[in-house]
Chains A and B, each alone.
Chain A
Amino acid sequence: MKVRDIALARSGDKGNRATLSVIAREPKDYPLLERVLTAERVREHYQGVVRGPVQRYLLPQLGAVHFVMNDALGGGVTRSLALDAHGKTLGFAILDIALDDLP
């Protein structure tokens, strides 16, 4: 089972930071997201894209885990050489994380 089976994701931009929300489709699945998607796990997943630290914010009443990924947008949306300068496609990458191989 993967994150995509229980959640959806949306990424956005803030200067040179990417924001990433992961939202449980059913509120009952939220605790699993909170357990699997640590800041460390997310940073590791986006290695090569995210160069700075990752902060995590928990919003249990919304069934959502929210991340701010620093130094993730090639110096910032307005100067980046990236095809997707806003990092809009980044969100879906997290849906590929497996939920089974819990530590």
Chain B
Amino acid sequence: MKPFRIGAGAGYSGDRIDPAQDLAERGELNALVFECLAERTIALAQLRRANDPKLGFDPLLRERMRAVLPACVRQGVTIITNMGAANPLAAGEAILQVGREMKLARLRVAVVTGDDVLPWMLEHDAPLIDSEETVRSLDGRLISANAYLGAEALLPALAAGADVVVTGRVADPALFLAPLMHHFGWKADDWQRMGQGIVVGHLLECAAQVSGGYIADPGFVDVPRLHDVGFPLAEVQEDGSCVITKLAGTGGRVDRLTCTAQLLYELENPARYLQPDVVADFSGVRLTEVGIDRVAVEGATGHARPTHLKATLGYREGYIGEGQISYAGPGARARGQLALDILEERLKRLGLHALEHRAELIGVNAMHGPALGTDREPYEVRVRLALRAPTRADAELVGQEVEALYLNGPGGGGGVTQSVREVVAAASALIPREAVPADCRILEL
């Protein structure tokens, strides 16, 4: 049996577009997956949709589709994406519109919904994961609640022969697992193959992070031509084993190191990776370099899927006010420290000092805390004050106080920036699988 060729077209919502176009045109793919939803993206999209019912999907959707649709439709490459965000149906219509503008002869778009579980969360109560509280504690602040659908929810769309499958919240690796299940006819309780399919998805879901991105450390780990890094693809066999590779002529590298770093990325217990479709076990995965930029992946397995699905809840969490100012040259660090001391006194005077805040020196302790590297004298530092406030007005005072250091603070301060943003935070809760029925709707040119 010929391997199934599946590529990654995006690893996050703002990812580069040209590598996806290259994959679509030269990859001889069967499927191309765009993973574009971070944890709180749906909540932010929900806010946009509340302002305009035609919005709420990924802002780059049209641009990405214009880049890949012609090649994908011509070659029969199925596109699968979660760019529907908070409004998959409007996203589906937008994709059709792109097809019309590009004068495609035909286009079938499947819209998969069902992830929106806000009504259930408002009716029921559920404990929040990693918290003593329940969903009720977010009353009045809750914006969105979306369950992580599994690959099974996408199967009807693939069975309908869709050119593009667009959805909202689906577990990232499941976007890749679904076309494998559909193509090979894997059974949903074939835990070994499901586990192996999750490995394929997990390795590809961050796009270039497995093909040379996010790993370079000059002199220690060198990566050629990151400006032209190739997005990855997997050649998957019927048993779920695969080879991870990238297109010839692209930058980056695919080897044991890039694949191991991505295999373990953001995993907790590698033997129990909880997914809607399976509890995947990566602990026995073996990676073998089988050619230049080619790594064979095998040995994953899995156990019966969880009874509940995870849902992400987006809620309002006040405002963060922030201000920054730089000091450079002799005594930069001491002047920066003096600025921080002044700011702490000013917060007391404003009655804001009890609010959660961070006062730090970028270049000294802003990244790794007070213990690491702070013995070194920097040439320049950047003072940073960030504070969480219940109101926008209080948050605005933070930047104003930092700016006032120009005339009232230490010598030689420059380059003030200030900002206020509303915080949309994310929490998690479990929901019974039965309470999340998925739906599939076909739109056609």
C-alpha spacing A63/B289, complex, angstroms: 14
Query: Which segment, of B102-110, B163-171, B192-200, B266-274, faces chain A?
Result: B266-274
Does B287 sit at the interface, judged by CB under 8 A? yes
List residues of chain B with CB within 8 A of the CB of A16.
130
B317 proximal to A (CB < 8 A) = yes
Interface residues on B, range: 35 or more
Contact B285 A62 (CB under 8 A): yes
In the assembled complex, how far is the CB of residue B132 from the closest CB belonging to chain A, in whole angstroms?
14
Contact of B261 among A4, A8, A74 (CB under 8 A): A8
Alpha-carbon gap, A96 to B367, bound state (A):
15
Q: Does B334 sit within 8 A of A, measured CB to CB?
A: no
- Cα–Cα distance between A46 and B368 once the two chains are bound (Å): 7
Nearest chain A CB to B403 CB, angstrom units: 19
A19 with B371: CB separation less than 8 A: no
Query: DSSP class of A's interface residues: helix, strand, loop or mixed?
Result: mixed
Interface positions of A from 3 to 29, Cβ below 8 Å from B: 4-5, 8, 10, 12-17, 19, 21, 23, 25
B336 to chain A, nearest CB (A): 15
CB atoms of B372 and A93 under 8 A apart: yes
- With A10-B214, A64-B264 as known contacts, state yes or no: A57 contacts B423, CB within 8 Å: no
Residues from chain A with Cβ under 8 Å of B424 in the complex: 78
Determine if B386 is an interface residue (Cβ-Cβ < 8 Å): yes
A64 to B129, CA, bound (A): 29
Say yes or no for A98: interface residue by CB 8 A criterion: no
- CB pair B40–A78 under 8 Å, yes or no, is yes
Shortest distance from the beta carbon of B310 to any chain A beta carbon, whole Å: 11
> In the complex, what distance in Å separates the CA atom of A14 from the CA atom of B129?
12
Give Cα distance in the complex from A49 to B368, angstroms. Answer: 7
Contact B268 A19 (CB under 8 A): yes
Given contacts A49-B368, A81-B388, contact A59 B270 (CB under 8 A): yes
Our pick among B39, B256, B285, B372 for the contact of A96 (Cβ within 8 Å) is B372
* Also in contact, A78 and B356, with CB within 8 A (given A17-B268, A90-B368): no
Asked, given contacts A57-B269, A62-B285, A78-B425, whether A23 binds B372 with beta carbons under 8 Å apart, the answer is no
- CB distance B425 to A10 under 8 Å? no
Q: Which residues of B contact A8 (CB under 8 A)?
A: 215, 217, 220-221, 257, 261
Give a binary string over A29-73; 1 marks a CB under 8 Å from any B CB, 0 the rest: 000000000000000011111000001010101111010100000
CB closest chain-B residue, reference A9: B261
* A10, A13, A89, A90: residue with the most chain B Cβ atoms closer than 10 Å: A10
Q: Which of B261, B269, B425 has the most CB of A within 10 A?
A: B261
Q: Does B87 contact A (CB under 8 A)?
A: no
Complex contact B426–A78 (CB within 8 A): yes
Q: Please tell me if B294 contacts chain A, counting CB pairs below 8 Å.
A: no
Give the docked Cα–Cα distance between A62 and B255 (Å). Answer: 12
Enumerate chain B residues within 8 angstroms of A17, measured Cβ to Cβ: 268
In the docked arrangement, what's the CA distance between A21 and B265, Å?
7
Q: How far is the CA of A84 from the CA of B217 in the complex (A)?
A: 19
Tell me the bound Cα distance from A45 to B373 in angstroms.
11
Contacts of B204-225 to chain A: CB distance below 8 A: 214-215, 217, 220-221
Smallest CB-CB separation from A23: which chain B residue? B260
Find chain B residues with CB under 8 A from A48 CB: 369-371
Query: B130–A15 contact, CB under 8 A?
Result: yes
Chain B residues with CB under 8 Å of A1's CB are none
Give the interface of A toward B (CB within 8 A): 4-5, 8, 10, 12-17, 19, 21, 23, 25, 45-49, 55, 57, 59, 61-64, 66, 68, 74, 76-79, 81-84, 89-90, 92-93, 96
- List residues of chain B with CB under 8 Å of any chain A CB: 39-40, 129-130, 214-215, 217, 220-221, 256-257, 260-261, 263-271, 283-287, 317, 320, 356-358, 360, 362, 366-373, 384, 386-388, 423-426, 428
Listed A/B pairs (8) with beta-carbon separation below 8 Å: A14-B268, A15-B130, A46-B372, A48-B369, A48-B371, A62-B263, A68-B269, A82-B386
What are the 3 closest A-B residue pairs judged by CB atoms, nearest first?
A48-B369, A12-B266, A21-B264
